[in-house]
Amino acid sequence: MNKLRKSNNDGSIAFGFIILGIGVILLLRKVGFFIPSWILTWPMILIVIGLFSLIKHEFKTFFGFLMLFLGTYFLARNEFGLDFGIGQYVWPLGLIALGVYLIVHKRRENQVLDEIRSNWETKQKDKKSQMSAFSSSVEDAKIVDESKASESKASGEGSGFTRTTGTSFADSLNIDAIFSGVNRRMMTKNFQGGKITAAFGGADIDLSQADFSGVATIQVDIIFGGVKLIVPPHWDIRTEVSNIAAGLEDKRFFRDGGVDANKVVVLKGTILFGGLEIKSY
């Protein structure tokens, strides 16, 4: 049974404290307690999103730092008149920082894919070496192997690892769609779950060709974005996400045989001003 290693930091607890704090503030304001007006302004929304993202990802997410910085700056400028002389540079610097992050993240992703390709090619070479040794010891087996090799060549199989745009042979998801769109088709037969983050962007994840056995957990965090998840119709999809001003639609096509109890996907996370769509063909 494949299980994704549980994170040391449960983001749902942090999110619960944030909702609790908002409720307490609204209640105190209703009963007459003085609550500063800036507490309920839109820059505070950015600050809360940033803090939530940082706590959830153990202060290892660039998106959290960016939201916290923008929220703090606009709050200081709009409510306290503190511009710090950087007003005209905020958005250019923010876009530059975001661009650098996306480039570095993409390079890391390419390095992982190159490593997967290298391991795949090594395994293929080992298999060919074993087949060659076996063929040299038994002449009849050699004839059979040559026939199979000819058929494989004619059908286009065995031509080596080919990386196609949007196609991944990794066993787990690691998607960050921040101010961008991501299309990914998973081809692994040992799917282990992973994470999907969509912030002011979208992600289309195709798992129709993937397979696994056991329980796989996918952490889904959507903020002002959308995610479409395509899964095989016999997978057992269980959603445990928190929705706030968001939509979650299950448009799967269920076949007559029902779901497979040995293939369970658990969706966890938070959807804030966004949407998650689950489909199957």
Q: 186-242 pLDDT, tens per residue? A: 999 999 999 998 888 899 999 999 999 999 999 898 888 899 999 998 899 998 887
**pLDDT band of 121, cuts 50, 70, 90:** confident
For residues 26 and 18, is the Cβ–Cβ distance under 8 A? no
pTM of the model: 0.47
Helix, strand or coil for residue 71? helix
Q: What confidence category does residue 109 fall into, taking pLDDT thresholds of 50, 70 and 90?
A: low
**Distance (Å, rounded) from C-alpha 98 to C-alpha 177?**
12
Q: Is the pLDDT reported for residue 29 higher than 90?
A: no
In this structure, are residues 38 and 75 in contact, taking their beta carbons and an 8 Å threshold? yes
pLDDT tens readout for residues 166-186: 888 899 998 888 888 899 999
Biggest alpha carbon distance in the chain?
Answer: 93
Burial status of residue 216 (CB atoms within 10 A of its CB: 0-12, 13-18, 19 or more): buried
